[in-house]
Structure 1
Amino acid sequence: MAVLLPALIALMVPFWLVVVHLATDPAARAVLAARPLLGVQLGFGLLVLVWIFGWPLSHLIYRGLERRRITIADGQVRSEAVGPFGQRVWQEPLADYAGLAHRVRTSLSGVRHELVLVHRRPSRAVVLTSSSQIPEEAVGAMARLFAVAEIPSREAASFTPLHGYFRLAEPQPRLAAA
Structure 2
Amino acid sequence: MLTLLAPLVVALLVPFWLLVTHLMTDPAARAVLTARPLVGLQLGLGLLVLLWIFGWPLAHLARNAIARRRIKIDGSHVRSSESRSFGRRGWTEPLSAYAGVTHRVRTTHSGVRHELVLVHRRPSRSVILLSSQHISTETVEAAARLLALAEIPSREAASFAPLHGFFHLAEPKPQLATA
Q: After superposition, what is the alpha-carbon deviation per residue over 1:71-108, rounded to whole angstroms, capped at 9, x for unaligned?
A: 11242211111233221212222233232221112345
The percentage of aligned residue pairs carrying the same residue is: 66
Could you say which residue in structure 1 is the equivalent of 2:15?
14
Could you say which residue in structure 1 is the equivalent of 2:159?
158
Amino acid at match of 1:68: R
Could you say which residue in structure 1 is the equivalent of 2:176?
none
1:39 equivalent to 2:40? Answer yes
Partner of 1:2, secondary structure, is: helix
Separation (CA, whole Å) in 2 of partners of 1:130 and 1:78: 19
Could you say which residue in structure 2 is the equivalent of 1:59?
60
Partner of 2:113, secondary structure, is: strand
1:81 equivalent to 2:93? Answer no
Could you say which residue in structure 1 is the equivalent of 2:118?
117
1:101 equivalent to 2:97? Answer no
Could you say which residue in structure 2 is the equivalent of 1:142?
143
Amino acid at match of 1:98: A
Mark the CA change 1:152 to 1:48 in structure 2 (over 3 Å): closer, same or farther. farther
**1:161, CA displacement in angstroms?**
6.6
Separation (CA, whole Å) in 2 of partners of 1:45 and 1:149: 55
**1:55, CA displacement in angstroms?**
2.0
Separation (CA, whole Å) in 2 of partners of 1:45 and 1:161: 42
Separation (CA, whole Å) in 2 of partners of 1:49 and 1:159: 39
**1:64, CA displacement in angstroms?**
2.0
Unaligned runs of 5+ in 2: 165-179
**TM-score after normalising by structure 1:** 0.78
Partner of 2:117, secondary structure, is: strand
Amino acid at match of 2:35: A
Separation (CA, whole Å) in 1 of partners of 2:145 and 2:129: 14
Amino acid at match of 1:37: L
Separation (CA, whole Å) in 1 of partners of 2:119 and 2:28: 63
**1:50, CA displacement in angstroms?**
1.7
* CA RMSD of superposed structures (Å): 2.3
Partner of 2:3, secondary structure, is: coil
Q: Between Structure 1 and Structure 2, how many residues are aligned?
A: 163
Mark the CA change 1:160 to 1:47 in structure 2 (over 3 Å): closer, same or farther. farther
Unaligned runs of 5+ in 1: 164-178
Amino acid at match of 1:127: I
Amino acid at match of 1:129: L
**1:112, CA displacement in angstroms?**
2.1
Could you say which residue in structure 2 is the equivalent of 1:27?
28
Deviates more, 1:78-87 or 1:107-116: 107-116
Separation (CA, whole Å) in 1 of partners of 2:122 and 2:47: 35
Separation (CA, whole Å) in 2 of partners of 1:161 and 1:48: 37
Could you say which residue in structure 2 is the equivalent of 1:169?
none
Mark the CA change 1:157 to 1:41 in structure 2 (over 3 Å): closer, same or farther. farther
**TM-score after normalising by structure 2:** 0.78
